[in-house]
Structure 1
Amino acid sequence: MTVLPDYALSRARYTAFLFTVVGTERSDAPNSGEDITVLGALARIGIDPWQEAARLALLPRVEAAKSLAATFVNLPDTRWTLGDAAGTARRIVDTLPQSSRHGPPPLGYRIFLGWRFWAAVCLALALLALNYLSGGA
């Protein structure tokens, strides 16, 4: 069974970030008093939460916090000052996983760890053993 990308475990690393509570709805909003999570906030303004979490995780923390604060200020049914949004965004951005700047391993390293490499080594050893046991030179 193929797992759709929307349900892949690679997205689980953003769970702490996406389910962090940002604030509560205003008292005159339809869902007054309900908690707003990062996931809900991003979805309300039409941004894919997992893509945005992945994008923010690649940014330096300061830049990610600025971007997230701008998102909070634009939320409907909430009132944010830029200072409040910036403080909350800095706190929430710390829940993002640290991005790895190392990139993929070098080609030689990947070949060494690949199953084809080890299959070739086993085949070569088997041929040597067969040659040795059959009385070859």
Structure 2
Amino acid sequence: MTVRPDYALSRARYTPFLFTVVGSERSDAENSGEDIIVLTALARLGIDPWEEAARLAVLPRLEAAQSLAATFINLPDTRWAQGDATGAARRIVDTLPPLSHRPPPPLGSGLFLTWRFWAAAGVLALVALNYMVNRA
């Protein structure tokens, strides 16, 4: 069974980022005083949270923080000063996975589909064939 990319474990590495509290709703908002997490903030703006997390994760941290701060400024039912949004964004961007980590391969790809497997199988076949020829 193939796991849909939406549910793949490679997205779990963004969990600390997506569930970090951004701030609270204004007191005159419908859900006054409730905490807003990154996932909620991005979804309210019509941005796919996992795609945005993946996009920000490959950017330099300062650039990612600036981009995220610009996003926070547009968030409805909140009030942000530019400095507040930038400070929060810098703190939140630090929860993204480090750049050195490559995402794991999709769960649908198997061992038999990789070129490394077939290269190793070919080398082993040549070694076995050489052994049999020299033994005869």
Same fold (TM over 0.5): yes
Q: Please tell me the residue identity of whatever aligns with 2:130.
A: L
Deviates most, 113-122 or 12-21: 113-122
Partner of 1:129: 131
Q: Which runs of 5+ in 2 are unaligned?
A: 103-114
What is the identity, as a one-letter code, of the residue corresponding to 2:51? Q
- How many pairs are equivalent? 124
TM-score (norm 2): 0.83
Distance 1:99 1:66 in 2: 17
Q: Whole-Å Cα distance in 2 between the matches of residues 125 and 63 of structure 1?
A: 52
Alignment-mate amino acid for residue 90 of structure 2: R
**Which structure's relative contact order is higher, taking Cα pairs within 8 Å and 6+ residues apart?**
2
The equivalent of 2:7 in structure 1 is 7
**In the superposition, relative to structure 1, how do residues 101 and 37 fare at CA in structure 2: closer, same or farther (>3 Å)?**
closer
**Match of 1:95, as an amino acid?**
T
Deviation above 2 Å: which 4+ runs of structure 1?
98-102
Gaps in structure 1 of 5+ consecutive residues: 103-112
**One-letter identity of the residue aligned with 1:39:** L
Tell me, in whole angstroms, the C-alpha distance in 1 between the residues paired with 2:129 and 2:55: 50
Q: Deviations over 1:21-55 (max 9, x none)?
A: 01111222111222110010000010111111111
| CA root-mean-square deviation | 1.9
Q: What is the CA–CA distance in structure 2 between the aligned matches of 1:6 and 1:88, rounded to whole Å?
A: 27
Of structures 1 and 2, the larger Rg is shown by 1
- How far has the Cα of 1:133 moved from its partner? 3.1
